């Protein structure tokens, strides 16, 4: 797909998309965080699914189960006790007062059913999202979450000031999928960063606003980092396999790694804030810091595709599936999306040190 695809939706539609997003966050009725999660899920799926990057007219079909699975992914981190500020809640019992870790509420009433379900799996010893998806009760969790999802956010997200304004997709409760209106998938791809950033900031604020949460958070710690941050302790699990694949050399400069090296998100975390097993490379600390939140140059992109998608996709899946979502197709789709935006925005791509290059304007490679 080339950059011309970004001209398929006219400017008026794109402005309308942004205006509706702003209205939704202001005029929508958000008594819980589920609607923010749905907005986030729609944006993510539009960049994660290869069909939305095709030259063919987009079908815009997203199954409800795709949305439900994304929902579970988004809430998995939130089912951890809030410990970033070393906070506990004192509860009274027969033996007196006991300090217990507190799982942040996601609505104004009792704890959400999904969070309670996820916390129970954690109590059973499930430590990662990848392990959760391999649990024998995974389909049961999908079924429970599907019911909650269909009863709540799926048909309520587009209620503005009490009226249905179905800008994203029509409400058809007889189907097992939603069909995005023309141009919506394109706009979610074009403005993914904006949609996710707004969804996360409003989601974080809503969590802060619930009285019981506020008493625990107390204005301390970085709540957004706790709710949506990368698990750095898990990322180091990728070091050994990457070290072997790269033969002990830095992915970017190809010089020997004198120490263990740093695991880098090839498509930067700032652009796609999720840990995917096929999106990791091992690099010198200096190279990692120089690259920062930039997309890497074409030569790095081509080598990443060769290394992680073509040659070592099975190895990465085998070694990392217990810790991360390992779907090479998703990583490839995210790269496609990111480099398409680079073409559209004429973004500079990091080469080395302080050197950058402009992304090529010709149809070559897998991502233009």
* Confidence at 162, pLDDT banded by 50, 70, 90: confident
Tell the burial category of 304 from Cβ atoms under 10 Å away from its Cβ (0-12, 13-18, 19+). buried
120 and 27 share one domain: yes
pTM value is 0.85
DSSP one-letter string for 105-156: PSBSSSPPHHHHHHHHHHHTT--SHHHHHTSTTHHHHHHHHHHHHHHTHHHH
Structure-model confidence comparison of residues 59 and 220, the more confident one = 59
Give the pLDDT confidence score for residue 31 in this predicted structure. Answer: 82
Closest to 194 (Cα-Cα) out of 265, 267, 269, 271? 271
158 and 277 share one domain: no
Residue 36, number of CB atoms within 10 A of its CB: 26
Give the pLDDT confidence score for residue 358 in this predicted structure. Answer: 82
Query: 86 pLDDT exceeds 80?
Result: no
163 and 289 share one domain: no
Give the pLDDT confidence score for residue 2 in this predicted structure. Answer: 40
Closest to 71 (Cα-Cα) out of 2, 153, 156, 184? 153
Answer whether residue 5 is part of any domain: no
Last residue of a domain, one of 199, 228, 257: 228
The percent of residues in the chain predicted with pLDDT above 70, rounded, is: 87
Instruction: Please state the separation of Cα 111 from the chain's center in Å.
Output: 23
Give the pLDDT confidence score for residue 233 in this predicted structure. Answer: 67
75 and 218 share one domain: yes
220 and 141 share one domain: yes
73 and 216 share one domain: yes
Answer whether residue 2 is part of any domain: no
The percent of residues in the chain predicted with pLDDT above 90, rounded, is: 66
Does residue 176 sit in helix, strand or coil?
A: coil
CA dist list (Å): 311 to 268, 277, 278, 285, 317? 22, 14, 11, 25, 12
Residue 303 and residue 324: Cα distance in Å, rounded? 22
Give the pLDDT confidence score for residue 223 in this predicted structure. Answer: 86
For residue 65, the enclosing domain spans 11-85+100-228
56-75 average pLDDT score: 87
Q: What is the pLDDT of residues 194-251, one digit of tens each?
A: 999 999 999 999 998 888 888 788 765 578 888 988 776 688 999 999 999 999 999 9
What are the b/e assignments for 258-290, b being 16+ CB within 10 Å? eeebbbbbbbbeebbbbbbbbbbbbbbeebbeb
Tracing tokens 């080339």 back to the chain, one arrives at 2
Give the pLDDT confidence score for residue 166 in this predicted structure. Answer: 96
Q: What is the pLDDT of residues 87-97, one digit of tens each?
A: 444 443 333 33
Answer whether residue 93 is part of any domain: no
CA dist list (Å): 342 to 6, 9, 97, 244? 11, 18, 56, 31
Report the DSSP beta bridge partners of residue 280: 265
Answer whether residue 312 is part of any domain: yes
188 and 255 share one domain: no
**What is the phi/psi pair of residue 267, to 5°?**
-80, 115
239 and 224 share one domain: no
Residue 95 and residue 201: Cα distance in Å, rounded? 40
Q: What is the pLDDT of residues 308-358, one digit of tens each?
A: 999 999 999 999 998 898 999 999 999 999 998 898 888 899 999 999 998
209 and 269 share one domain: no
* Confidence at 292, pLDDT banded by 50, 70, 90: very high
H helix runs in 266-365, sequence order: 285-291, 298-304, 313-320, 328-345
Last residue of a domain, one of 213, 228, 243: 228
Tracing tokens 């009285």 back to the chain, one arrives at 211
Please give the helix or strand (H or E) that residue 64 lies within, else none: helix 64-76
Answer whether residue 362 is part of any domain: no
Lowest mean pLDDT among 19-33, 100-114, 214-228: 214-228
Query: 362 pLDDT exceeds 60?
Result: no
352 and 241 share one domain: yes
* Confidence at 50, pLDDT banded by 50, 70, 90: confident
191 and 119 share one domain: yes
* Confidence at 83, pLDDT banded by 50, 70, 90: low
* Confidence at 177, pLDDT banded by 50, 70, 90: very high
Residue 283 Rama label (left phi>0; alpha psi -120 to 50; beta): beta
Answer whether residue 17 is part of any domain: yes
The answer to whether 352 and 294 have CB atoms below 8 angstroms apart is no
Give the pLDDT confidence score for residue 75 in this predicted structure. Answer: 96
Last residue of a domain, one of 188, 207, 228: 228
Answer whether residue 363 is part of any domain: no
220 and 281 share one domain: no
Answer whether residue 145 is part of any domain: yes
Residue 312 and residue 197: Cα distance in Å, rounded? 33
The answer to whether 269 and 240 have CB atoms below 8 angstroms apart is no
Residue 355 Rama label (left phi>0; alpha psi -120 to 50; beta): beta
Query: 42 pLDDT exceeds 90?
Result: yes
Q: What is the mean pLDDT of the chain?
A: 87
Query: How many independent structural domains does the chain possess?
Result: 2
């Amino acid at each position: 797909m080339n950059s011309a695809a970004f001209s398929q939706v006219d400017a008026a539609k794109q402005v309308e998309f942004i205006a509706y997003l702003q209205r939704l966050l202001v005029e929508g009725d958000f008594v819980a965080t589920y609607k923010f999660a749905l907005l986030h899920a729609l944006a993510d799926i539009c960049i994660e699914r290869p069909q939305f990057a095709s030259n063919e007219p987009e079908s815009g079909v997203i199954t409800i189960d795709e949305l439900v699975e994304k929902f579970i992914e988004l809430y998995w981190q939130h089912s951890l006790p809030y410990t970033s500020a070393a906070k506990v809640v004192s509860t009274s019992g027969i033996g007196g007062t006991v300090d217990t870790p507190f799982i942040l509420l996601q609505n104004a009433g009792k704890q959400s059913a999904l969070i309670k379900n996820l916390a129970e799996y954690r109590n059973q010893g499930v430590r990662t999202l990848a392990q959760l998806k391999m649990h024998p009760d995974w389909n049961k969790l999908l079924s429970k979450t599907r019911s909650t999802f269909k009863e709540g956010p799926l048909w309520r997200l587009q209620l503005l000031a009490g009226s249905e304004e179905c800008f994203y997709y029509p409400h058809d409760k007889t189907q097992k999928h939603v069909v995005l209106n023309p141009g919506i998938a394109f706009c979610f791809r074009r403005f993914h960063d904006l949609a996710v950033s707004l969804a996360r900031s409003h989601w974080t604020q809503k969590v802060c606003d619930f009285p019981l949460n506020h008493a625990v958070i107390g204005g301390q710690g970085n709540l957004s980092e706790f709710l949506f941050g990368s698990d750095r302790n898990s990322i180091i699990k990728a070091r050994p396999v990457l070290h072997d694949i790269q033969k002990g050399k830095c992915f970017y400069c190809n010089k020997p790694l004198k120490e263990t090296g740093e695991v880098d998100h090839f498509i930067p975390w700032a652009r796609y804030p999720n840990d995917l097993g096929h999106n990791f490379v091992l690099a010198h600390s200096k190279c990692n810091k120089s690259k920062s939140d930039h997309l890497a140059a074409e030569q790095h992109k081509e080598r990443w595709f060769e290394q992680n998608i073509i040659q070592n996709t099975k190895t990465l899946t085998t070694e990392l599936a217990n810790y991360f979502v390992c779907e090479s197709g998703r990583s490839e789709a995210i790269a496609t999306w990111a480099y398409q935006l680079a073409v559209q925005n004429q973004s500079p791509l990091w080469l080395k040190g302080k050197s950058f290059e402009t992304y090529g304007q010709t149809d070559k490679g897998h991502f233009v």
